[in-house]
Amino acid sequence: MDQLALWGYPGLFFSGLLAGSIVPASSEVVLTAALMMGLNKWTCLLVLSIGNLLGGMSCYFMGYMGKMEWITKYLKIKPEKLHQMQVKLDKRGTWLAAFAFVPILGNIMIVTFGLMRSNFYAVSVYMFIGKVLRYFLWMALTLGVFKFFG
């Protein structure tokens, strides 16, 4: 995965896209490598966040299409889990999309938002905010640690 950093910003975008989708990938490793290569931190943050948002929206659209056989086959999410998540999301709202980066639960949450036909724009905005904040924190920790030990 860290080899994607050698592709520069396109590799960073692709790693974010993969990590945001159903593919298990660590975009943080690529971000760290890109930062250590000297790529602009703000461009890295933007490119990676957009890629990760688009990957996450692929889960939203799989839910939106509502093909339960695809969801169980490709996403490995059981209908019971989706129902449990729907009950939780009904009570709270689309702002929870900001936590789409949480492993496993994040994908279930976003697929459920799609199934519920939740507002696309609200889900996108909250998801983007969460992803930017997550990568910002990772970037700050990474640069802080390397400056501390560098």
The pLDDT value recorded for residue 97 is 95
The pLDDT value recorded for residue 40 is 94
pLDDT in tens, 23-33: 878 899 999 99
The pLDDT value recorded for residue 73 is 83
Give pTM, 2 decimals: 0.89
DSSP secondary structure string, 96-124?
A: GGGGTTSTTHHHHHHHHHHHTT--HHHHH
The pLDDT value recorded for residue 7 is 87
Task: Using the predicted structure, report yes or no on whether residue 71 has a pLDDT greater than 80.
Answer: yes
Highest mean pLDDT among 19-23, 63-67, 136-140: 136-140
The pLDDT value recorded for residue 128 is 97
The pLDDT value recorded for residue 67 is 82
**Domain ranges, ordered by start, for the chain:** 2-149
Nearest Cα to 41, choosing from 16, 15, 12? Answer: 12
Q: How far is CA 13 from CA 28, 49, 69, 105, 140, in A?
A: 12, 8, 29, 23, 19
Task: Using the predicted structure, report yes or no on whether residue 101 has a pLDDT greater than 70.
Answer: yes
